Chain A
């Protein structure tokens, strides 16, 4: 019937037109993000002024004027202070960090034995990295090696006294070694303990519940330094005469108990967010309490509170620096001890050492928080409303 087919189908694509001028490119970006309004422009000017004031000074101090090598304070002191730098010089004293690097990492750990902490560090990295990358297989074996075998190996290697390894007192440990071992053990102890406390707090047994509440709320209400005082001053009083506790162990107990109380509250938040139907569903399947918790509730609850758990880890990692107050030499303690020695005392030493320590702490904490964000995205099964 239809003689003339009026329909028309385009057979080739039209070339894309460039975006109109003014909505793309550098100029548009600047207009949108920096000078959208008068107020915005003023803010930008203030911001540029701020950056222009601070950034060149920082770069000058940290890189251009910095003293990178040296053996004592004269390298970082001005002529007026008895050093080699011109008067009015202000630059970072990385020479100090350079000279004391071994101390900052291992404390007074004997130099000929330092391969042992290095070996432990390598083992930890080798076992930890595959566990953190989701695509690598054999997670179960990996976890067993990391959480059960490695602690034993690390203990034997670090403390020594067997297999011909000389014994190294924990009072000789120091620097990043102490910071990392305190936090690793603290994390490994506080997570399970926190989960148990959270379950205890939600338990139907009144006595267990009361005990957990008292413990959690007391610990959360007092500063960590009080807990450490408690661990270092009162624990020896609690034990029979003659029994002594390693100082390192005491700090470890203090830090772990403290973190466990915070962890318990985080986990409790997760437990409360699980709908009642899940508990009842598990009950109706005939699962016992522990089966219900381990198989049904905890996997869901822990997944919900990963950010909180990692935040607690980060907080604990930062809190390990407090052991320097009860005269243990973690990274911060070692840095502080070293910059007060007379042969390195200059106006720049303390600043440089502390900034180095801050950078190390920052690296670990920032890494942890980024990894937690990544895990959160990966585990997000889209149930969030």
Chain B
């Protein structure tokens, strides 16, 4: 077919209907027409149904009085607040559980993933069993297990389980001492920020000096001293402004302290356990993916095992690890929507309640979709920046 006519850009002598370009345009036209017709049909139906059910469309309903209570709320909220505020409360709760879950899952995942490559047979097997169990059961089941199987059959508040540091565990959740900051405590966060900034500068200077002269500087210990020491110094200087409000047992309930509700606890534990199994596999694949020659070459250069791990293996493994890790973080954030099953008021749960009360199905689902899409995009944007810093610098 690729004859010389084609090169001279004359119309091909083949039949008109066999021209791929014409066909392409035709197919796309068909798709557009079909899409337009079905969208028009759906919109008509939606309008019909909404008028029949007497539901006004638009987002005006967000200003209405919510009229329902939310058990966990990071910002001020009563049943007199607006629907919009209820959704914001849910959004904040989603963020809280997602961030807490991501941190814990990463921690467990890295430990288990490295454990699966341990030379120690027992540790290897324990980690494998952990991964194979949690990878193969639904996250929702893990949530229910923590909620109905473990936390709700704990003793009543009267016979709470005493834990170290004045904390308690009972069927109403986990109680621990609440920190009460006194006068002058503002000095401590300021000191912390100053410490971090100074540590960063020290690290930069040390790197420049090493590049120029080859001399090394104990960056790690200096940073620890700065970041931990400065706030500690500020704490002493401002006259020990920290005290604790311990939970106390009264007849029927615990008073004081900080209460973590079982709904949050079970969601957080389940998401962490479940996602950690996947992160462990990713970490393992990342470390296995760094070829043995790299370790051997580093050894031949005279690096110690610790330095080999820190300077040669980990930077290369991170390159393999970060992209799938990002998608696990996204999965965890999306799985946090399972909160609705146990009544933790996250975005899906509050938006679902609003949707049921007002009947604004289209707007409610739209809000959910847009917020989760935005969360996904923000997470991937952050991880892309991290990835770009880690990526192989090639010529």
Cβ A332 vs Cβ B136 within 8 A: no
**B14 contacts the other chain (Cβ, under 8 Å)?**
no
Residues of A within 8 A of B335 (CB): 223
- The residue in chain B whose Cβ has the minimal distance to the Cβ of A360 is B137
Binds B, one of A119-127, A156-164, A225-233, A298-306: A225-233
Given known A226-B337, A354-B141, contact A48–B122 (CB-CB < 8 A)? yes
* Any B CB within 8 A of the CB of A169: no
Expressed in whole angstroms, the Cα–Cα distance for A37 and B48 within the complex equals: 76
Known: A233-B365, A354-B141. 16 other contacts (CB 8 A): A33-B119, A33-B120, A51-B122, A205-B28, A208-B27, A222-B373, A222-B376, A223-B348, A225-B348, A241-B52, A322-B138, A322-B140, A324-B140, A355-B145, A361-B141, A366-B132
CA–CA, A43 and B118, complex, Å: 10
Residues of B within 8 A of A233 (CB): 355, 361, 364-365
Q: Is the CB of A351 within 8 A of B372?
A: no
Q: Is A197 engaged at the interface, CB distance under 8 Å to the other chain? A: no
CB distance from B344 to the nearest CB of A (A): 13
Which residues of A lie under 8 Å from residue B24 when comparing CB positions? 204-205
A314 within 8 A of B: yes
Contact surface of A with B, Cβ cutoff 8 Å: 33-34, 36, 40, 43-44, 47-48, 50-51, 204-208, 211, 218, 220-226, 229-230, 233-234, 236-241, 286, 314, 318-319, 321-322, 324-325, 332, 336, 339, 347-348, 350-351, 354-355, 357-358, 361-362, 365-366, 369
Residue count of chain B within 8 Å CB distance of chain A: 56
- Judge if B210 is at the interface, Cβ distance under 8 Å: no
Q: Which residues of A contact B334 (CB under 8 A)?
A: 222-224
Q: Which residues of A contact B49 (CB under 8 A)?
A: 236-237, 241
Q: Known contacts being A222-B372, A354-B145, is A44 close to B120, with CB within 8 Å? A: yes
Q: Contact between B365 and A208 (Cβ–Cβ < 8 Å)?
A: no
Return chain A residues, CB-CB under 8 Å to B48: 240-241
Pick the contact of A211: B31, B148, B150, B364 (CB < 8 A). B31
283-313 of chain B: CB within 8 A of chain A: none
Instruction: Give the contacts of B143-163 with A (CB-CB under 8 A).
Output: 144-145, 148-150, 152-153
Q: List B residues at the A interface (Cβ < 8 Å).
A: 1, 24, 27-28, 31-32, 35, 42, 45-46, 48-50, 52, 118-123, 126, 132-133, 135-141, 144-145, 148-150, 152-153, 334-335, 337-338, 340-341, 348, 352, 355, 361-362, 364-365, 368-369, 372-373, 376-377
CB atoms of A208 and B28 under 8 A apart: yes
Chain B residues positioned under 8 Å from A318 (CB to CB): 136-139
The answer to whether B149 and A350 have CB atoms under 8 Å apart is yes
Using A318-B138, A362-B137 as known contacts, say yes or no to A238 and B42 having CB atoms under 8 A apart: yes
Beyond A241-B48, A332-B138, whether A324 also contacts B341 by CB under 8 A is yes
B361 touches A325 (CB 8 A): no
Question: B28, B145, B337: which contacts A207 (Cβ < 8 A)?
Answer: B28
Beyond A43-B118, A43-B120, A223-B334, whether A354 also contacts B149 by CB under 8 A is: yes
Residues of B close to A366: CB separation below 8 A: 132, 136
- With A225-B337, A332-B141 known to touch, is A351 a contact of B150 (CB < 8 Å)? yes
| Cross-interface CB contact of A51 among B126, B136, B145, cutoff 8 Å | B126
